[in-house]
Structure 1
């Protein structure tokens, strides 16, 4: 049986930014209830009182404050080393039968220069290669026969080490990316392992992105 509390919770959970704002107590519950009521009444098939919606939102926000903040903040406070690299170029190539051989040649070149940044990720149809801009000409030459889908220059990377309990705590990545989105930061690419993730942003936004992530440790 549908109740006011259940439809209110469903409404909030389908709107991630609203969910975050509610959990942080930065939203006017009365105004939110007024906005929600037409949809809730349609869902329940009857008229409801605004006060009942407000009370459901209040209970939900208190519950979210515990579930979201206490678990996630514990992980974020233990964020490890944050490493920034600048002057990067991101290449995107179509997957082919020969592209792995080209990558092997590129890795041989990079191994001779440990100061060069390199990372790669492969999807179903695309392979991304991110390198220091100082060797972008090497990539262009080695992959000249491959189908280049896109190339983005003047990028910077931010690599973050996460504590081991991040893999058993839901919402950690969402919380981080939500904070970056609130600041209007555009993420060009995300590359992750079990306990580490790297984001690529424009060099113009890297200082702000670094501050946002660093500040998470002080929540």
Structure 2
């Protein structure tokens, strides 16, 4: 079933956080952008589309996004930011042989003393983000495993919320959108009931800190 013009336009806009932001901010040239996406809209729609129809869809979607963006999330969620530096990140193929070794890792690392450790078990991969001083331990445990990727000199920025932020729609989306707008690449995203952590490159850490400090109106 062919898409409507409106749904085609929404899908195209949603692919680019930058266009998304410009539409919300009201600084997008509807006519010029409509002309640039006309071939893609016609391909999805299945027949000829007038430029004016795309402009109208953009205006309506812009109003929708502005309305959504003005919801009172800012006043209902409070948070602080914790920064951890010198993080080492490792990704490898998930195997029982490695998972069985994780107990040794937990036994060596003390998060109560400020150490950082996050382990994510996916269906096919395992991701570890850990304080750099334990890198030798992690690489030793992974010596016989299939390592996919590793990075060093990373920073973890954790948003610690007052209350259950997972029940507040739009928080994760807004944080990721703001980081993408500033061209900050996120290496890992970790969430718990009241914490949201982004692992990023050190060179992006101060810019990311400023973005996350103000993304919900907190100064």
TM-score normalised to structure 2 length: 0.81
Question: Is the Cα–Cα contact under 8 Å of residues 77 and 216 in structure 1 kept in the other structure?
Answer: no
The gaps in structure 1 that reach 5 residues or longer are: none
Q: State the secondary structure of the residue aligned to 1:81.
A: strand
User: How far has the Cα of 1:158 moved from its partner?
Assistant: 0.6
Q: State the secondary structure of the residue aligned to 2:96.
A: coil
1:147–1:45 Cα change, 3 Å: closer
Question: Is the Cα–Cα contact under 8 Å of residues 87 and 133 in structure 1 kept in the other structure?
Answer: yes
Aligned to 1:167: 167
User: How far has the Cα of 1:76 moved from its partner?
Assistant: 7.8
Alignment of 1:18-37 (within 5 A): 18-37=19-38
Q: Deviations over 1:115-151 (max 9, x none)?
A: 3211110112211111111121122233333333222
Q: Deviations over 1:39-74 (max 9, x none)?
A: 5566374563x555434433332232112x123x61
Alignment of 1:1-219 (within 5 A): 7-16=5-14, 17=16, 18-38=19-39, 40=41, 43=45, 45=47, 48=50, 50-51=51-52, 53-67=54-68, 69-71=69-71, 74-75=73-74, 78-111=77-110, 114-162=113-161, 163-164=163-164, 166-169=166-169, 171-218=170-217
User: How far has the Cα of 1:156 moved from its partner?
Assistant: 0.6
The gaps in structure 2 that reach 5 residues or longer are: none
TM-score normalised to structure 1 length: 0.81
Question: Is the Cα–Cα contact under 8 Å of residues 94 and 126 in structure 2 kept in the other structure?
Answer: yes
* Larger deviation, residues 181-190 vs 27-36: 27-36
Q: State the secondary structure of the residue aligned to 2:77.
A: coil
Question: Is the Cα–Cα contact under 8 Å of residues 92 and 128 in structure 1 kept in the other structure?
Answer: yes
Q: Distance in 2 between matches of 1:129 and 1:190?
A: 12
